Copies of this chain bind each other. A is one copy, B any other.
């Protein structure tokens, strides 16, 4: 008989999470997760599912019946969207202006689709003219774009123009709203988005594990009339329809606790009001932006594309990004992140999401960042940043 491993009680450090996610979780949501479970087919859980769907529709600004949490983290809802919508032989148009367009491409290819691209530099949104050109050239069946690019901190503007182009070519539109849902203005129905997916651990401030997805009837018609089944059984929306729809048939055991948590996180959204929540993110992140700019730093995206939930701050000359990131973690228990892909080493990614989008966190962040940069010998004004934050509030 082997000696069992001797592992200590769980005692992770007490971090302030200001990276690209997970964001700080509201105590009410944490508490909801310690609620004893009911079964996934219990009548009371079916009510909880209905309520979660209703709350999700409110957050997405949609009337879509087909609005559910997918049983996995954000990439699961992403693959549920793409893997069901893209059939073998379909062509999907994806953007190249950030990390997640590449992930869309990989998922579309694995679904048996062909991938074509519309280009924009990392840190800039797509230009509707380029999207129009790409449609004219490639006639794609599905068009994906990223509303809030977590890798670059750039927001896609002109969304209704993009969806108009797609619909005039009879294509369906999939939007990555991972870092916008619940934090940045997003109107799924009004903007003509056919499918949107998100993650719970960004502006909803909920632990990852059950991830928002919404599809309108046009999208669901395509899914339900596929010639061959989706390539994932777990993420097959035509089967999930049996569980989340009227039949309530067993498909897989839902992650009950994660649904509890998402429901509570969405209750907080409803209590605050979605427009008020967008405004809070803009106000609080605005103070963060003012603070870092006052200390002499630049944001990477132009102001027109600034994404309040994810602030991409350029690493100043002479500073190594990882030294600053490690210093903040070690000295301040504060998490921020570096860049990915084309922006690796060039930006800090500073989240201002959900329960983390508070004056207290921004005051702490700007002060700590000023100290870290000063410590690393950067030419920054260590007092101007915190002062600008005080002025902003």
Give chain A's interface residues, CB within 8 Å of chain B: 1-2, 4-7, 9-10, 12-15, 17, 19, 21-22, 24-25, 30-45, 48, 51, 54-55, 58, 71-76, 78-79, 83, 103, 106-107, 110-111, 199, 201, 207-210, 229-235, 250-258, 260-261, 263-264, 266-267, 269-271, 273-275, 329, 335, 337, 340
Contacts and interface: CB of A to CB of B under 8 A. Distances in A.
Contacts of A257: 33, 207-209, 257-258, 261
A208 B257 CA distance: 8
A38 B51 contact: no
A58 B83 CA distance: 35
B232 A110 contact: yes
Given A24-B36, A233-B110, A255-B258, A76 B83 contact: no
A40 to B, nearest CB: 7
B35 A10 contact: yes
Given A37-B22, A209-B209, A335-B42, A263 B230 contact: no
Given A1-B275, A207-B257, 4 more contacts: A6-B270, A30-B33, A33-B34, A79-B234
Nearest to A330: B43
B230 A110 contact: yes
- Among A54, A111, A255, A337, the one with the most B-chain Cβ atoms within 10 Å of its Cβ is A255
19 contacts: A1-B273, A4-B273, A7-B54, A10-B35, A12-B44, A13-B38, A22-B253, A25-B37, A37-B207, A73-B253, A73-B254, A78-B234, A103-B233, A110-B233, A207-B258, A209-B210, A209-B255, A209-B258, A234-B235
A45 to B, nearest CB: 7
A288 B101 CA distance: 55
A57 to B, nearest CB: 8
A355 B210 CA distance: 25
A55 B208 contact: no
Contacts of A17: 37-39
A25 B33 contact: no
Contacts of A207: 37, 255-258
Contacts of A21: 253
A234 B39 contact: no
Contacts of A12: 35-38, 42, 44-45, 48, 260
Nearest to A31: B34
Output the residue of A17, A19, A55, A73 with the most chain B CB within 10 A.
Answer: A73
B33 A15 contact: no
Contact of A7 (B30, B267, B273): B267
B232 A271 contact: no
A106 to B, nearest CB: 5
Nearest to A274: B4
A227 to B, nearest CB: 14
Nearest to A37: B22
A186 to B, nearest CB: 14
A73 B255 contact: yes
Nearest to A205: B37
A269 to B, nearest CB: 8
A54 B5 contact: yes
Nearest to A30: B34
